[in-house]
Each structure stands twice: as C-alpha cells, then as structure tokens.
Amino acid sequence: MTTTTPRHEIDLASVRIDVAALGERLLGRWAEQRRFIRTLATDPRLQRIEGQTMAEHRARILDQLHVLVAEGAVQRAFPKAVGGHDDHGGSIAGFEELLVADPSLQIKSGVQWGLFASAVMHLGTEEHHRRLLPDILDLTIPGAFAMTEIGHGSDVASIGTTATYDPQTEEFVLHTPFRAAWKDYLGNAALHGVAAVVFAQLITKGVNHGVHAFYVPLRDTTAEVAEGEPFPFLPGISGEDDGLKGGLNGIDNGRLAFDHVRVPRTNLLNRYGDVAPDGTYTSPIASPGRRFFTMLGTLVQGRVSLDGSANNAAKMGLAIAVRYGNERRQFTGASDTEETVLLDYRRHQRRLIPLIAETYAGHFAHETLLEKFDEVFSGANDDDASRQDLETLAAALKPLSTWHALRTLQESREACGGAGFMAENRITGLRADLDVYVTFEGDNTVLLQLVAKRLLSDRAAEFRDIDAGGVLRYVAEKAADAALYRTGFARAAQAFADVGDARRSVNQLRETSLQRELLTDRVQTMVAELGDALKDAAKAPREVAAEKFNDHQHELIEAARAYAELIQWEAFTAALSTLPDDGTREVLTRVRDLFGLTLIERNLAWYLIHGRLSTGRARTVSSYIDRLVARLRPHAQDLVDAWGYGPEHLRATIATGVEAERQAEAAAYYRELRASGKAPVPEKHARSAGSPAA
C-alpha cells in the first residue's frame, strides 16, 4: 500500500524547478510573438542610451519606430486588408515586451498604433480603414490620440471640446471654448504628430449627442522645414510642448487647442454614431450612456497592455535584484573569513520573495485578461456581457499591477544599495518611466471605483431575480453570520481547535480551501456591507446619492481591490494544474500559498475586526510567512530566471555576473594573504594575545 506525503510535510529543498519548461509555460499562447519582440529588443538600434538629452531621446525614439515598421513588428492587430494579421492577443503580447528595449519606445509605439491607429480601426468604418490606416501603419502619418483635457482627465464624458455640424458646408467645426478644454499630455503632439483622433462633444441641430471621435489633420506637411524641425500647425490649431517630465522623455507629449477648425463630415469616425448631410444624427445604440461606454470600451486594449507591461517591469527589477542578492556579500557575522550573501539574510528574503510571489500572481491573472481580450476582439466571444466583463477585469487588474510595479522597483532598487541607484543598472530608469502608468488609461483610483460599482450592480441584479422567500433566507443567513462572527463564536472555535498546537493553525491556513474561503468571504462581506449602506442611493436625489457614494468612497475602492486580489489568487491557483512537472508544481504551489497568506497578513485587521480569524491563528500568519520565505529562498534564482529575461534583456551591469567575479577576486586575495602569513593581526586579537602592540 502506497501513501502520499502531505504537501506540508514535503521538504522544498529536495525538489527542483524545471526552469526551461516553466519558462516555456510562462511564455503562454503567444510565445512566438513574445520571443520575436524580446529578440528584437536586443538590437542595439532599439536600445536606450542613458544620458541623452530630451531632444536626442525623442529623435532616437522616432527613428526606432521606423525600425519597428521595417521589422514588421506593429501590424499584427490590424485587418488583413491593410497588411495586418487580425491577431489581437499576439499584438498585445508583443507590445508588452517592448518595455525591454525602452519604455519610451513602448509607449510611443502604443500612441501611434495602440491608440491613434486603433481608434481609426475600432471607431471608424471600412471606408476609414482603406483611406487612413495604410499611412498610419507605415508611419507616413504619425499621429496623436487627443482625448484627455486639462480640466477633465478620467471624466471623458465631460470634456469641453465641441464639434458642431454645419450642414451648409457638410463640415464639423471643432472648437476649444476655454483653457481647461485644451487637450493635454498627448504623445506625438509636441513635434512629430501630423494628425490626431480628437474626441469632442458632437452637436448637430442644436442637440449634443455626447463624445465622438474625429480624424483631424494637425500640421502642414507640404511646408519646407529644417531637418529635425516639426511641420507648422494648420490654421486654427495651436500647440505647446509639455517639456521635461518625470520619465518617458523619449515621447514628445504636448497640448493642442482648436479655434473653429473645420473637417469634412466624413472625418467623423462613425461606427457608433453618424450624421447625414442634412445634420440628422443616427446611431445603432439608442442609449447615449451605453453608446459612450461602448465607444470607450473598444479602446480597452490600453489597460490590458499596461497590466502586462507593468508585470514585466516588476519581473525585470526582481531579476536584477535577485541576481545581485545572490552574488553580493556583506558582513562576516557567520564566519571570520567569509562574508554572507545578501539573499541569505532573512530580511532581504522577506523584502524580495513575497514580491516574486505577487508577480507570479499578476502574471497568471494577466494571462486570463489577455485571453478574454482576444476572445472579444477576435469575435470568438463578442457580446455586450463579454465586453462588460472584459472592461471590469481590465479596470480591476491594471491598478494592482501598476502599483505593484512601482513598489517592486523601489524595493529592488533599495535591495541593490547604491548600485541600484546607478543609471547603468536600469532600475531607477524603469521606476521613473513606470510612474505614470498608474494614471495612464484611467487613474487607478477611478478605475477601482468603476469595478466597485459593477460589483454593486451585479449584487443588486441578484436581488431582482429572487422571490420574497429568497430575501427572507438572505436575511436569516445574514443574522446567522452576525451571530457567528460578531459574537466571537467563530474565533472561539478556531482557538479551541488550535489550542496547544501552533502547527495545526498553520496547516489550516495553508490549505487551498481555507485561503479561498478567507479571500472570497472578504469580498462578499465588503460588497454586502456597501450594498446595505448605499441601498437607498439609487432612489435619492442626485446630490444626496453623490454624497452617499462620496462618504463610502474608501470602502468602494477597498472592496474593488479585494476583488482584484481574489482574481489574481484564483488565476494562480488555476494555473498550478498546467505546470510541467511535479517539482515545479510543488514549488509554485508554495509560492501561491505565500501570495495568499501575504494578502491575509496585509488585511489582518479586517479579519480580526470581522471575526474571521482568532488572535492565535492571526499570530501564526506572519511567522509562517517567514518560514515559507526561508524555504523558498533556494528557488529564488530559478523563479526569476524562468521569466526569460537574460543579461541581454536586462542590460544591468550588476545582473551580468560581474559582482560574482568581484567577490571571487576579493575572496582569493584574502585567502592568499592569510596563507602567506603576512596578514596583519586585528587589534582585538593583538590585545588578547598580550602582544607589544597592545
């Protein structure tokens, strides 16, 4: 009779990760496209040169865009009729890897093809595709995506720019009525863009039909200009350079304003709303609100790609820090002759290894998001419900990954000491460039509010579908929940079950079922409490409803964040069954446990206040995390190596093995000195020996 060793009794030191097989698994469905762009990113023509001036960096990035066109690296998402591949998931996967070359190159290409060209593709018709896309794809027409205004960032529905239809000339008149309506922070607007997709309030026959998109020429490309100088603006168009930024200075961000600028009626990107020659407005979507969100939803790929890109930035920072931590030695606490490797210090492990776990969780959650995106945009599963689910998933995950990238890069920088602050080691540059990702494509806080509102609307829909008996059962369950948790009975039961054996408490916490229960219960409880607090808001006057939501804004965001964390945990858990071998699966299961327990530790106050954990069991969470981190320490290098970023991708001096060479040289020097008998005697040893030097 054979027996299976319980997972908690397996010695992690006895198992190994198959790094090559895990790396192949992590490349995922679009492995070919990821490899292609990673290889391209090793081309010196595409790599960032540290220390360039802003002007030099901008010029180099524009040249690099032409390299991407020549290499066929930007057309995958577009229709085959204009030279594309209709490969939406592959396009995003490749775009995410451009970060390896230079985040400025990634984002500038995203402006050109992910925003400007995609707006024409998704908001325009086949006529627009034939007329406009070829020149955009081959960079004959560099362009801007003019949505954001100084006065309205995430609140796109309230932008001030207008496009008023003139039936006499069959033209739209675009106008910026006040300074706060200037379009701002627009990539390609300061220098290189010669056209833009401009978002404005469409007004015809005295009716405002809401925000629509228009193709607008910006500059006179027939004018003669000196090499490197931008073409002059067309009449009625004004612009300014945003100047030096905190990062991404290879992109020429700028501002635009329009003074009664006329464009043909056919320049309205009219897939979701059209204006006839006489000024009559029609749309396949009757509801103005649904029409607006449908139009913006077609541009969700920006949030999807930022989620993956931010995870890649975190991977790069950790790959550098772990390699350095495995080679750099400091202090001789455990030996008189040999200094200790940084990653052997418990605090160093605690600062980096949980971040590795969170990065794996983000990776697997992003796989889910990218698959969902491809299903919708390929047409395999494209309906209103699927698009709403995609929008919610992107709005949930993008905030977590971008915040995680900033925390991880900062921790990685500090873990590398002064070496991490050197530009040649890339971490500080990545940290500066990634900073704006938290407000790209929607401010993270605003996005999480959207997620929370979706959770509340789904909960309300559930109540609409149940009868009076169902409501009574819910009330009874809620009363039982209060009796169980708020009176402390649940905590008392835990304490009784765990008494005298801390290991029993630990073993309970690392069970998949209990982690899922704790994480899921937190989301359900938070949403239920919000639903109760806001149940009368829908029927209240507008100002009262707004005040209620404002009063509970913090709880809304926390509930959405808990939901996004649950998605990451579930994605990680689901991925475990797809891992290539038993050893890899065992280590990654512990990594998943570390992620789940880190989430619980981060929110221990909530679990204690709501009676979900006893104080005794809560006390074991942090101590077990410490032990788990120590057990995963031997696998740290394999875990980051599996991400597939070698020295040629990282391009950080301290991640090339040079530190190991320095340490070996130093150790050899001191060994030779000791062997020679010429080593000076330390003062404290001399004193204890009673030498004359004392």
479 and 440 assigned to the same domain: yes
User: What share of the chain has pLDDT > 90, as a percent?
Assistant: 72
555 and 682 assigned to the same domain: no
User: Considering only 101-115, 429-443, 459-473, 618-632, which range has the smallest mean pLDDT?
Assistant: 459-473
Distance CA 289, CA 669 (A): 73
pLDDT for the residue 458: 82
Average pLDDT over residues 1-12: 53
121 and 62 assigned to the same domain: yes
The answer to the question of residue 542 being in a domain is yes
The most distant pair of C-alpha atoms in the chain lies apart, rounded to whole Å, by: 108
User: Considering only 88-92, 258-262, 289-293, which range has the smallest mean pLDDT?
Assistant: 289-293
Give the HSE-up count for residue 214: Cα atoms under 13 Å, Cβ half-sphere. 30
**Other Cβ atoms closer than 10 A to 41:** 21
Please, which residues have CB within 8 angstroms of residue 24's CB and are 6 or more apart in sequence?
Answer: 31, 580
Distance CA 112, CA 118 (A): 9
The answer to the question of residue 256 being in a domain is no
pLDDT for the residue 8: 53
539 and 664 assigned to the same domain: no
Domain that holds residue 428: 301-641
537 and 442 assigned to the same domain: yes
> Residue 522 above 80 pLDDT?
yes
568 and 670 assigned to the same domain: no
Domain end point (choices 98, 113, 137): 137
Average pLDDT over residues 329-336: 75
Distance of CA 470 to the CA centre of its chain: 40
The answer to the question of residue 249 being in a domain is no
Q: Report the domain count for the chain.
A: 3
619 and 664 assigned to the same domain: no
Conformation bin of residue 77: beta by default, left when phi > 0, alpha when psi is -120 to 50: alpha
Residue 477 binned pLDDT confidence (cut-offs 50, 70, 90): low
CATH number at residue 70: 1.10.540.10
Beta-sheet pairing, 207-217 with 195-204: antiparallel
490 and 549 assigned to the same domain: yes
Q: What pTM was estimated for this model as a whole?
A: 0.91
666 and 546 assigned to the same domain: no
The answer to the question of residue 648 being in a domain is no
The pLDDT tens digits for 386-422 are: 999 999 999 999 999 999 999 999 999 999 999 999 9
The answer to the question of residue 152 being in a domain is no
Distance CA 369, CA 363 (A): 10
341 and 451 assigned to the same domain: yes
Q: Tokens 């050197």 map to which residue?
A: 422
Task: Pick the more confident residue, 566 or 228.
Answer: 566
Say which DSSP state 63 is in: H
User: What share of the chain has pLDDT > 70, as a percent?
Assistant: 90
Distance CA 274, CA 212 (A): 10
664 and 595 assigned to the same domain: no
The answer to the question of residue 388 being in a domain is yes
pLDDT for the residue 493: 45
Domain end point (choices 137, 156, 179): 137
Domain end point (choices 137, 171, 198): 137
**Other Cβ atoms closer than 10 A to 2:** 3
608 and 669 assigned to the same domain: no
The answer to the question of residue 582 being in a domain is yes
CATH number at residue 307: 1.20.140.10
Q: Tokens 């329009």 map to which residue?
A: 258
Residue 692 binned pLDDT confidence (cut-offs 50, 70, 90): low
pLDDT for the residue 492: 47
Task: Supply the DSSP string of 488-511, one letter for each residue.
Answer: THHHHHHHHHHTT-HHHHHHHHTS
User: Measuring CA to CA, which residue among 177, 184, 238 is closest to residue 203?
Assistant: 177
The pLDDT tens digits for 167-207 are: 999 999 999 999 999 999 999 999 999 999 999 999 999 99
User: Considering only 340-344, 493-497, 523-527, 650-654, which range has the smallest mean pLDDT?
Assistant: 493-497
Distance CA 452, CA 558 (A): 9
Distance of CA 229 to the CA centre of its chain: 35
**Other Cβ atoms closer than 10 A to 491:** 21
The answer to the question of residue 589 being in a domain is yes
Amino acid letter, residue 191: L
Distance of CA 292 to the CA centre of its chain: 24
Residue 487 binned pLDDT confidence (cut-offs 50, 70, 90): very low
Please, which residues have CB within 8 angstroms of residue 470's CB and are 6 or more apart in sequence?
Answer: none
